[in-house]
């Protein structure tokens, strides 16, 4: 349904604001339960943005085998192997089989055990978070809760991981979390390591954006929400030309968008990033490498990733990085700025029920496609009384 076709106040039970993965998950669940709702969104997919050909991801890029909820919609992408990944300053693929690293094998095994335990706990938390809030689920696991309170720096020091962190995990964290590990807690640090211990795949967004709204496309209105206010027991939501009323509102959009019309909690680490698509002749340091990770102190670029189309995707902390460092010649195909690219877990998690009838979805507590999806299902379950 296009905005221009809506010309009267529309009443419904639930308004979902935002059509990214969290809003779509909420819509899908409400649809399956036969609920009355409408989705107001500027566009479908949000941070699941792709190029026109759908072959290149401009937002979220990878999923792991533990993304159980979205795997049916987003699976089937190319497997990402560590033997195709390089650090910028090395000509050998990333490997733990190095003489210096083998001296640390005891610490590596200990870290693996901690990460495997974290993985198990995170899976339990995710199952619970479909029905109780992420915050409540965290309260039920004191180990995970402890990780949200412990700075990653302390975790690295306690486990004697300085060398392994400097050599492997800190550049990996910087490449996909877009900030340095020492600004984060242990939860975010271990969550980032899941890409190493789980099978990891390129996310297939076009299938997901097609399948999730299937059967309820007519409930989607493309428009920008400008204002929202409580009216007794209901809520009034305004776009440029229309007014909607509902008993429930699901805010399925990031902080910087939602705060323009509702007092949403501010995440501790909301990280921006530029995504560039470039076609070019790589210079020697990057030639022949499928995925290249960069050390945070030395580069504006965090990752350079060859795509099936022959182009490269680069994540950059600045708008106009010096690409001459990586290419002998190049042509910029596109540049996208994400004011909130990822949100890394902070020390205090937020309630998802903000007030009676208002639910916070999206990645305010845990970042990533799977967890955002879960927040949307949780909101729908609350609205339907499925606990
Ligand atoms: C560059 C990048 C790389 C990432 N890499 C990964 C990764 O590899 N793996 C992973 O799991 N996650 C990754 N993420 C994070 C992941 O994309 C997000 O956690 C997830 O997509 C959040 O989904 P969402 O639905 O909550 O929000 P969004 O996808 O941001 O959706 C918000 C929606 O709200 C709409 N909207 C905004 N303002 C308004 C308004 N005023 N009125 C109406 N509609 C509005 C937007 O149009 C959009 O459709 C990455 C993100 C980025 C940007």
Among candidate residues 222, 207, 211, 212, the one with its CA nearest the CA of residue 38: 222
Residue 355 within a domain: yes
Residue 358 within a domain: yes
Listed in sequence order, the residues at least 6 apart from 287 whose beta carbon sits closer than 8 Å to its beta carbon are none
pLDDT in tens, 240-267: 989 999 999 999 999 999 999 999 999 9
Residue 165 within a domain: no
pLDDT at 12: 97
- Residue with tokens 């205090």, as numbered in its chain: 348
pLDDT band at 4 (very low <50, low <70, confident <90, very high): very low
Q: Where are the alpha helices (DSSP H) in 198-287?
A: 205-211, 255-258
Best mutation site among 56, 176, 179, 253 for ligand 1 pocket (most ligand atoms within 8 Å of CB): 253
Whether the pLDDT of residue 90 is over 90: the answer is no
Listed in sequence order, the residues at least 6 apart from 41 whose beta carbon sits closer than 8 Å to its beta carbon are 16, 17, 18, 19, 20, 23, 220, 221, 222, 223
From residue 127, alpha-carbon distances to 58, 134, 185 in Å are: 29, 10, 22
Residue 250 within a domain: yes
Distance 366 CA to ligand 1 centre (A): 13
CATH assignment of the domain containing 358: 3.50.50.60
What atom in ligand 1 is closest to the CA of residue 375? Answer: 26
Distance 161 CA to ligand 1 centre (A): 33
- Residue with tokens 């399956």, as numbered in its chain: 32
Residue 363 within a domain: yes
pLDDT in tens, 158-207: 999 999 999 999 999 988 888 899 999 999 999 999 999 999 999 999 89
Alpha-carbon torsion (107, 124, 172, 360), positive or negative: negative
Please say whether the beta carbons of 191 and 123 come within 8 A.
no
Whether the pLDDT of residue 345 is over 90: the answer is no
Residue 240 within a domain: yes
Rg for the chain, CA atoms, rounded: 21
Domain region containing 9: 3-46+206-268+346-384
Number of domains in the chain: 1
pLDDT in tens, 92-122: 889 888 888 999 999 999 999 999 999 999 9
Distance 63 CA to ligand 1 centre (A): 14
pLDDT in tens, 38-61: 999 999 999 999 999 999 999 999
pTM of the model: 0.96
Residue 31 within a domain: yes
Residue 187 within a domain: no
Distance 86 CA to ligand 1 centre (A): 27
């Amino acid at each position: 349904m296009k905005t221009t076709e809506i010309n009267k106040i529309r009443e419904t039970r639930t308004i979902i604001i935002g059509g990214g993965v969290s809003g779509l998950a909420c819509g899908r669940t409400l649809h399956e339960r036969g609920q009355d709702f409408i989705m107001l969104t500027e566009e479908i997919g949000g941070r699941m943005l792709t190029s026109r050909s759908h072959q290149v991801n401009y937002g979220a890029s990878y999923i792991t085998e533990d993304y159980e909820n979205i795997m049916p919609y987003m699976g089937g992408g190319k497997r990402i192997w560590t033997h195709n990944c390089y650090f910028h300053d090395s000509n050998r693929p990333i490997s733990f089989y190095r003489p210096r690293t083998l001296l640390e094998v005891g610490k590596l095994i200990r870290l693996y055990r901690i990460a495997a335990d974290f993985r198990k706990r995170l899976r339990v938390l995710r199952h619970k978070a479909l029905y109780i809030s992420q915050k409540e689920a965290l309260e039920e696991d004191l180990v995970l809760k402890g990780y949200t309170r412990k700075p990653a720096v302390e975790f690295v020091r306690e486990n004697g991981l300085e060398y392994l962190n400097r050599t492997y995990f800190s550049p990996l964290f910087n490449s996909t979390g877009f900030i340095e590990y020492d600004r984060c807690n242990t939860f975010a640090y271990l969550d980032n390591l899941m890409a190493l211990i789980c099978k990891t795949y390129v996310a297939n967004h076009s299938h997901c954006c097609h399948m999730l709204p299937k059967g309820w496309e007519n409930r989607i209105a493309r428009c920008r929400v400008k204002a929202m206010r409580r009216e007794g027991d209901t809520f009034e939501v305004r776009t440029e030309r229309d007014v909607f009323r509902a008993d429930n509102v699901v805010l399925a959009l990031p902080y910087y968008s939602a705060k323009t019309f509702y007092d949403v909690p501010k995440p501790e680490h909301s990280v921006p990033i530029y995504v560039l698509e470039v076609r070019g002749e790589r210079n020697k340091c990057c030639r022949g490498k499928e995925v290249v990770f960069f050390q945070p102190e030395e580069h504006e670029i965090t990752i350079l990733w060859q795509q099936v189309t022959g182009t490269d995707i680069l994540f950059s902390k600045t708008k106009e990085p010096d690409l001459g460092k990586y290419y002998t010649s190049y042509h910029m195909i596109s540049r996208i700025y994400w004011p909130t690219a990822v949100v890394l877990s902070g020390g205090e998690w937020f309630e998802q029920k903000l007030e009676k009838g208002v639910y916070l979805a999206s990645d305010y507590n845990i970042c990533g496609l799977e967890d955002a999806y879960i927040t949307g299902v949780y909101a729908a379950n609350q609205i339907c009384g499925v606990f």
